Amino acid sequence: MMKIMLRTGVLALALVLAGCAVPQRNVDYSAFRESNPASILVLPPLNISVEPAASAAVLAQATYPLAESGYYVVPVALMEETFRQNGLFTADEIHAVPAAKLREIFGADAALYMTVKQYGSSYRVVTSSTIVEIDAALVDLRTGAKLWDGTKVVAQRSDGGGGGLLGMLVQAIVDQVVNTLSDRSYALAGMADQMLLRAGQPGGLLYGPRSAHYATQ
Amino acid sequence: MLNKSTAAVCIGRVRRGLRLLAICGTSGALAACVQAPKDMYSWQAYQPSVYAYLQDDGADYAAQAKALEQNIEVARSSSAVLPPGFRAHLGLLYLKMGEDNKAVEQFESEKIAFPEASPFVDFLLRNASALKTQAKEPSSVESLEGAPAPGQPASPPATKHGA
């Protein structure tokens, strides 16, 4: 029993650390630097998880890390409302809109295409845990060139305090992020957004023009 | 590398005895990774309000607008800067409430605070009447840009959103 707990703990820790210290992949930032985007349009994420609310939770909380990284982020609800007015109701339809058209309407330099791959309770990685997994790609709307992509998985044990290192660890962070909404998955989605989209981490986005770190990178 | 709030969480958990070390140690490592220094913007209810709007759960636009109005006061009193999208979102809520003038005011102030917003805001101002027609509470206020009020015959066919 002890052995199993220990093994789970090690696995869990490895999972977190893997999400944190991104294995050094050689990211080519030349296109990103050349594009030098100042504004980002975050499109409604594709959702291949089983939870319908996943898209809204991930979309609503993507503005924070991007804006704090120095970018202007197109107002999210207005963006979705605009697509609705034009008869586009699903993320699939919206992701198929040509870059030039998005540029024409929203005036953004780049668009963020996200996919929510897992959201909510899952039994795949760690037994009985809440998991959020997101893929993202940043595309220049003036040229259509891909500037960056990344992926992030965050997990939280759902059995409270006794649940191993990962549970305690994520719990501590989640508690301080959002207390206004009781939805744990929502809080975890916000964490995943932050860990994926905050500039300044290995393999992460570059800082945008509004950040104090912009000139120093 | 522990930031203030992380430290506070850790201190608050002193009662948990031995676990403390593990939590502080590892969350410190994670904080170094997530890195949350002092925010550039005063976020407050913006993202939760966007979430409520996206959920379309019968949210009360007036209540949300009121919360954001209070946020503006809080930000003003501490000389904090409102984040990108905040003013435009409040403008959208006003539009849904039929308060066109207040909506336009917010859209314009989004542009002043963030010139990057100009193309989209200008697009919105040209098309604001269309956004309004889907308001849950139809209003009799005149449409923006002098467009014909909903229900009246318009020169171009105004039935774009069917699907």
Please report where in the chains the tokens 């318009």 appear, as a residue: B154
Task: With beta carbons under 8 A apart, name residues in chain A contacting B160.
Answer: 85-87
- pTM for the model stands at 0.73
Verify whether the Cβ–Cβ distance A82 to B51 is below 8 Å: no
Verify whether the Cβ–Cβ distance A67 to B160 is below 8 Å: no
The answer to whether residues B28 and B62 belong to one domain is: no
Verify whether the Cβ–Cβ distance A169 to B130 is below 8 Å: no
The answer to whether residues B61 and B11 belong to one domain is: no
The answer to whether residues B71 and B103 belong to one domain is: yes
Nearest to B65, CA basis, from B113, B105, B111: B105
Task: With beta carbons under 8 A apart, name residues in chain B contacting A13.
Answer: 26
Q: Is B152 part of a structural domain of the chain?
A: no
Q: Is B100 part of a structural domain of the chain?
A: yes
Helix (H) or strand (E) holding A116: strand A110-122
| B4 compared with A113, residue with greater pLDDT | A113
A101 in B contact zone (CB under 8 Å): no
The fold of A27-203 is: Rossmann fold (3.40.50)
A39 half-sphere exposure, CB direction, 13 A CA radius: 23
At residue B110, the pLDDT reads 98
Confidence of residue A174 (pLDDT cuts 50, 70, 90): low
The answer to whether residues B14 and B58 belong to one domain is: no
For residue A105, give the chain B residue with the closest CA. Answer: B120
The answer to whether residues B102 and B126 belong to one domain is: yes
pLDDT of A121 higher than 80: no
Percent helix, strand, coil in chain B (nearest 5)? 65, 0, 35
Verify whether the Cβ–Cβ distance A84 to B161 is below 8 Å: yes
The answer to whether residues B14 and B57 belong to one domain is: no
Count of domains in chain B?
2
The answer to whether residues B54 and B24 belong to one domain is: no
Q: Is B82 part of a structural domain of the chain?
A: yes
**Residue B140 distance to chain A (closest CA, Å):** 20
**Residue A58 distance to chain B (closest CA, Å):** 9
Q: Is B116 part of a structural domain of the chain?
A: yes
SS3 sequence of A135-200 = EEEEEECCCCCEEEEEEEEEEEECCHHHCHHHHHHHHHHHHHHCCCCCCHHHHHHHHHHHHHHCCC
Is the predicted ipTM greater than 0.85, yes or no? no
Average pLDDT along chain A: 82
Domains in chain A: boundaries:
27-203
Verify whether the Cβ–Cβ distance B47 to A87 is below 8 Å: no
The answer to whether residues B8 and B88 belong to one domain is: no
Domain extent for B10: 4-34
Lowest-confidence segment of A83-97, A146-160, A164-178 by average pLDDT: A164-178
pLDDT tens digits in sequence order for chain B, 163 residues long: 344 444 444 334 434 443 433 443 444 444 444 545 689 999 999 999 999 999 876 778 999 999 999 999 999 999 999 999 999 999 999 999 999 999 999 999 999 999 999 999 999 998 877 776 554 444 333 333 333 344 444 344 333 343 3
Q: Is B159 part of a structural domain of the chain?
A: no
